[in-house]
Every structure is written in C-alpha cells, then in structure tokens.
Amino acid sequence: MKLTLGGIRGTNPVTGTAYTDFGGDTTSLMVEGADGTRLIIDMGTGLRSIDQKIRRTREQRLLNIFLTHYHLDHLIGLPAFSPLYDSTWTLKINGPRLEGFSVGEVMHRILARPFWPLQMEAMRAEVQFSDLENPGPDSQRLVGGMQVRWCPIHHPGGCVAYRIDEPATGASMVFATDIEWHESTGLERADFIRLCTVPKPADVLLFDGQFSPETSGKYRGWGHSSWKEAVEVATTAGIRRLFIIHHSPERNDISLHAIEGEAQKMLATARLGRQGHTIEIANTLPNSTGD
Ligand SMILES: [Zn+2]
Ligand SMILES: [Zn+2]
C-alpha cells in the first residue's frame, strides 16, 4: 500500500519560499493498493496535484473518495476536480452525515450559486454519494483489495478518522486529521485507540498536531491537538511510524523542522508530514489474532 500526501497544511493554504520543505496545500491524500486500486481522502487544495496524476489514467476510471468532514480546508479543491467534468469517470463520494447534512447535500451546497459557475447538474461524471453508517462490527467499505473502517473523532461539527487495511499484504494505516485529543471523552478516546489497534496496531498513523503544547491551552475548543499529543497517542497505540499533520499556516519550514526535532526526542521514528511525500506502507507487526 502506498500513500501520497497531496497536501497536509491545516486551515489555510500558504505559499512561498518559507514553506517549500513541508508544503502549503491543505489536506488531500491518495492511497494506492498493491492491486493498483486508488482512493482519495479529503479534497483540500492538495487535490490539484493528485488530479494531475490520476487524470492520465486510461483504464481504471472509477474513484472512491472518502471525506473526513466538510470544513472548507478539506473540501475547497472539489469544484475544480477535473474528473467531475469528464463523462468517462465514475466517482463514489463517501462521507459522514454531520450536523444534519448528508454527504450529497453538502456537495450540492458547495457547488450551488453563487459559489461556483457550474452546478452539480452540469457535472458529466457519474457521481454517487454514500453516507457512512455509524461504525459497528460490520461497518466497512471494500475498495478493491482495501478495507476502509472509520470512527467519529472529537472536532467541532464532527469528523471521522479512517483506517485502511490491505489483507493481501497485511499493511494498514490510520488517518486522523482534525481531532482535539484533550477535549475527547473517554469513550471517544477508547473508540479511536481501538481503530488504531484492532486487529493489530496500524503500521502508519497520521495525526493532527497543529498546535504546540505551550499554546494549545489557548485554543481549547478549536478542534485540534498538539504535536506532543500526537506522539503520546501513537505511543499508546503502539504505532512507531507517526506522521504529524495539519500544520498551522503560521508555521514556516524553520519552525516545523524544530518541532520535528522535539517530537523525535520523544519518539525517534516520528516525522512531520511533507507535501508530495510518498510513503510505502508494509506490514510491520503480526496480527494480534495470530492469522
Ligand atoms: Zn482542517
Ligand atoms: Zn475541521
């Protein structure tokens, strides 16, 4: 399984020479299975570079998209996504029902007048919407050889974390953007740790670390964690390959390199996510059930 980080900046895109190492585009990533199946998580401005990769695809013109929530930094790349305007593509857009809105309703709203020149009716691709049901023992989506599971996480208005397992290779990853660990209830924490650890600790964890431990108290209720909490959660879950994501637009490369150094004092294998980075994910731990 291979993960490409199209963008991992939080809140706002940033640009310029001070941001070249970690990148300035907001959240969007692509997961590719060993069988060539691809799926996309979130549609921030980082979707543009993923778009450029996939539009060259000739054979497989079916794409599953999983949305964590509908804040604009995770959705603003959607209206210009080129497969939407191409009748040879089929897009399955999956997302949670949040604050009374289904994923289909959200998509129609973001493409409604006066926000964009073309509305959903003008999209030539076949677009299918699918609300994620509440997580239970059987709730999962199969995308080629990949299994996708999810659980709600603590964030204003709601958000979900995703876990992707690839049974053929045993590789697994968990993606948790926009999560406020400090404010999470005991139940929310337990559900998330379960997602991270069952059937075995994921090989890779990506976790929101927008704030610094010194300032996170000032931003309580804003929906994000500190990089230190990201390290603590990875340690609790027994996951060594941690990528801290959702970097604040206030942080330039110098500041983010310093944070990465601090995080590595706690967990030597911790890294900060870098835009454009491709992460090869391999099975690193035996299944806890022994199979
Ligand atoms: Zn965000
Ligand atoms: Zn958010």
Ligand 1 centroid, distance to 98 Cα (angstroms):
15
Residue 19 predicted with pLDDT over 60: yes
Name beta bridge partners: 93.
65, 129
Contact (CB, 8 A) for 32 and 2: yes
Per-residue model confidence as pLDDT tens digits over 155-198: 999 999 999 999 999 999 999 999 999 999 999 999 999 999 99
Q: Which two tokens stand for residue 145?
A: 């050889």
Domain extent listing, the chain = 2-280
Size of the chain in residues: 291
Please choose, from the candidates 222, 196, 213, the residue with its C-alpha nearest in 3D space to the C-alpha of residue 259.
Answer: 213
Q: What is the pLDDT of residues 111-161, one digit of tens each?
A: 999 999 999 889 999 999 999 988 776 789 999 999 999 999 999 999 999
d(CA 73, ligand 1 centre) in Å: 5
- Bridge partners, 207 (sequence order): 176, 244
- Closest ligand to C-alpha of residue 245 is 1
Identify any residues that bridge with 148 across adjacent strands, giving them in sequence order: 141, 164
How much distance in Å is there from the Cα of 70 to the middle of ligand 2? 7
How much is the pLDDT for 291? 43
Residue keyed to tokens 């590595």: 264
Residues in the 5 Å CB sphere of ion ligand 1: 10, 73, 178
What confidence category does residue 57 fall into, taking pLDDT thresholds of 50, 70 and 90?
confident
Contact 164, 150 (CB under 8 A): no
Report which residue type is found at 210: Q
Q: Average pLDDT of the chain?
A: 94
Helix (H, G, I), strand (E, B) or coil at 282: coil
Residues 242/251, Cβ–Cβ less than 8 Å: no
Instruction: Tell me which fold the domain 2-280 belongs to.
Output: Metallo-beta-lactamase; Chain A (3.60.15)
CA of 265 to the centre of ligand 2 (A): 28
